[in-house]
């Protein structure tokens, strides 16, 4: 059956608009679609008609700077940090980890605001991270690295974190204008190189539409990843909620995102590709998620309603994992 017809018969997907030529290209590929994981990380409450309610305790997000970030990038303005649990000192981090573990947490996302060089100043926290990992070996920590030199990457490795995450940016204009950052594309590639030189599970992110809602350096970023071979790749889409009035973001085009999914699958055929939490809501989210299922991505965080049915009707075995998708390495969640 034509995949457009398949999607049209799923009630939650009524009203979405998919590009017929793009869907046809996805359907004509020779490769069989792999199993797919649907992730329900607990950064926020989540439920659909297909997936039961997910609370906010299993996988908390923690910021070592609280809501503070010196960069004030145009797509975020530090607002993303405001909903995270603050742990501004090593002692607070130890207390937060213990409290969350007592409440049933199985892991956490650890991040913080950047300095003016796009570095998160983790050095005082590494002994505490090591202490947490030694005391609770099954507790998983995914750390947002920002930009790092090789010695910093090794300190992260020695701390025992389970996954290292970074945004890969392929356009100098985006680094300068959106991030207000005096660093280069080469600095981002060097960070990627430094991280993959360790034993860490490296799970970089590409933010699609990061240049004010338009595609600019995404394909260059993809080529950087082809050269350096991470453990997995997370794709997310820019959300213009916090953009300044004088420089608004457009909502990234869902069809262009779908095309990028297909290109990424071709460039990185043997690396897990995951659709992360961040993407526009509403109809755009349903369209983006449908393209992700059809393009053969390995996992989707907080999937739109109807995705479990779509995957099943396309012959994809689906699994539900209460974990951050950045912990997905080799097609399985490290949380298991």
pLDDT at 213: 94
Q: Say whether 332 sits in a helix, a strand or coil.
A: strand
DSSP 66-133: TT--SS--TTTTTHHHHTSEE--SHHHHHHHHHHHHHTT--EEEEE----TTSB---GGGHHHHHHHH
pLDDT value at residue 329: 47
Q: What is the pLDDT of residue 334?
A: 38
Fold of 3-333: TIM Barrel (3.20.20)
Q: Give me the pLDDT at residue 333, please.
A: 41
Q: Where are the beta strands (DSSP E) in the chain?
A: 36-39, 61-63, 85-86, 107-111, 140-144, 163-165, 201-202, 205-208, 233-237, 273-275, 299-301, 318-321, 328-329, 332-333
Provide the pLDDT for residue 41: 63
Q: Is the pTM of this model over 0.75?
A: yes
Return the DSSP state at 270: T
* 111 token code pair: 């991040």
| pLDDT in single tens digits along all 336 residues of the chain | 899 999 999 999 999 999 999 999 999 986 778 899 998 865 555 556 666 555 556 789 999 999 999 998 888 877 889 989 999 999 999 999 999 999 999 899 999 999 999 999 999 999 999 999 999 999 999 999 999 999 999 999 999 999 999 999 999 999 999 999 999 999 999 999 999 999 999 999 999 999 999 999 999 999 999 999 999 999 999 986 666 777 888 989 999 999 999 999 999 999 999 999 889 999 999 999 999 999 999 999 999 999 999 999 999 998 887 666 666 543 444 333
What is the pLDDT, as a whole number, of residue 56? 55
Chain Cα centroid distance, residue 31: 25
């Amino acid at each position: 059956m034509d995949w457009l017809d398949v999607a049209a018969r799923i009630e939650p997907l009524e009203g979405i608009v998919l590009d017929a030529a793009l869907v046809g290209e996805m359907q004509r590929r020779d490769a069989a679609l792999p199993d797919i994981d649907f992730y329900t990380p607990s950064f926020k409450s989540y439920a659909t008609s297909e997936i039961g309610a997910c609370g906010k305790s299993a996988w908390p997000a923690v910021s070592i700077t609280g809501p503070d970030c010196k960069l004030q990038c145009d797509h975020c303005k530090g607002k993303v940090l405001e909903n995270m649990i603050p742990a501004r000192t090593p002692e607070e981090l130890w207390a937060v980890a213990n409290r969350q573990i007592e409440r049933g947490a199985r892991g956490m996302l650890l991040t913080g605001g950047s300095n003016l060089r796009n570095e998160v100043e983790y050095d005082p926290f590494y002994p505490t991270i090591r202490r947490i990992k030694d005391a609770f070996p099954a507790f998983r920590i995914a750390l947002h690295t920002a930009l790092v030199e090789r010695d910093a990457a090794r300190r992260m490795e020695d701390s025992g974190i389970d996954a290292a995450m970074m945004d890969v940016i392929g356009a100098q204009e985006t680094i300068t204008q959106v991030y207000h950052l005096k660093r280069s594309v080469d600095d981002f590639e060097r960070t990627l190189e430094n991280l993959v030189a360790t034993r860490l599970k490296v799970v970089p992110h590409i933010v699609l539409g990061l240049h004010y809602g338009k595609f600019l350096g995404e394909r260059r970023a993809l080529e950087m990843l082809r050269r350096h071979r991470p453990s997995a790749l997370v794709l997310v889409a820019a959300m213009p909620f916090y953009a300044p009035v004088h420089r608004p973001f457009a909502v990234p085009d869902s069809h262009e995102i779908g095309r990028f999914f297909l290109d990424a699958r071709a460039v990185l055929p043997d690396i897990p590709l995951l659709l992360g939490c961040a993407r526009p809501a509403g109809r755009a989210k349903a369209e983006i998620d449908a393209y992700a299922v059809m393009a053969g991505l390995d996992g989707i965080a907080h999937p739109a309603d109807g995705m479990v049915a779509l995957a099943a009707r396309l012959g994809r075995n689906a699994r539900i994992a209460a974990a951050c998708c950045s912990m997905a390495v080799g097609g399985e969640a490290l949380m298991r």
